[in-house]
Structure 1
């Protein structure tokens, strides 16, 4: 069963609050901000080639290409909440995030160039 879509208004409010309050934002606010931006990524980069994980709040499959169906995905991007929100909003570029080691990317197609920022 598909998860309900987060309303754009509520999602944007959560993102602004999470960015403004940083680590001091409530768990619910951070969770909604992450889930909303992951939702946007999945909508803007439809596909199943890459799995983007932001533990503990969410993961999506995105980017067109070969479909992954079972086991551990061959193409994975994983990062923490603050780094993901910075990527999703354009405060951090993909190349800078990779160079700094804040983003773990594995697999030949583990690249979000051109897909972030989503807001």
Structure 2
């Protein structure tokens, strides 16, 4: 986990809940998702990929052609728990995609270069 993740009380609380075999409460989950999405946008600045974690948040990121109208050609969507696991390295990108936990479309929709590459 990067230092930015360590500074987020919501991410720490969400990971603690997941490690204990439970689920984070909705407020913690929302805040953790948003903190990790913000961190992704900082590490992969751009507007060529839209990452959606409904209902908690979405960001545009990754260098490349900017999307301006309609449905973006590069979209990634997943649930909040999957996003927390992938963004913190608890679940590999490829494993989550193969399991159907991530829907990714478009040539730039592979976020693995911007995420931790191995589970804790």
How far does residue 24 in structure 1 lie from its aligned partner after superposition?
3.8
How far does residue 10 in structure 1 lie from its aligned partner after superposition?
8.8
Q: Distance in 2 between matches of 1:109 and 1:63?
A: 8
Change (3 A) 1:96 1:87: same
Q: Distance in 2 between matches of 1:28 and 1:48?
A: 27
Q: Distance in 2 between matches of 1:85 and 1:58?
A: 12
Change (3 A) 1:96 1:68: same
Q: Distance in 2 between matches of 1:21 and 1:90?
A: 16
Q: Distance in 1 between matches of 2:102 and 2:113?
A: 16
Aligned to 2:24: 25
Q: Distance in 1 between matches of 2:14 and 2:75?
A: 24
Asked if 1:88 corresponds to 2:84, the answer is: no
TM-score normalised to structure 1 length: 0.85
How far does residue 107 in structure 1 lie from its aligned partner after superposition?
1.1
Asked if 1:65 corresponds to 2:61, the answer is: no
Asked if 1:46 corresponds to 2:30, the answer is: no
1:66-97 deviation per Cα after TM superposition (whole angstroms, max 9, x unaligned):
10001111100000011000001000111111
Structure 2 unaligned residues grouped into runs of 5+:
none
- Asked if the contact 2:48–2:61 (Cα under 8 Å) also holds between the matched residues in 1, the reply is yes
- Asked if the contact 1:11–1:36 (Cα under 8 Å) also holds between the matched residues in 2, the reply is no
How far does residue 25 in structure 1 lie from its aligned partner after superposition?
2.2
CA RMSD of aligned residues (A): 1.9
TM-score normalised to structure 2 length: 0.85
How many residues align? The count is 111
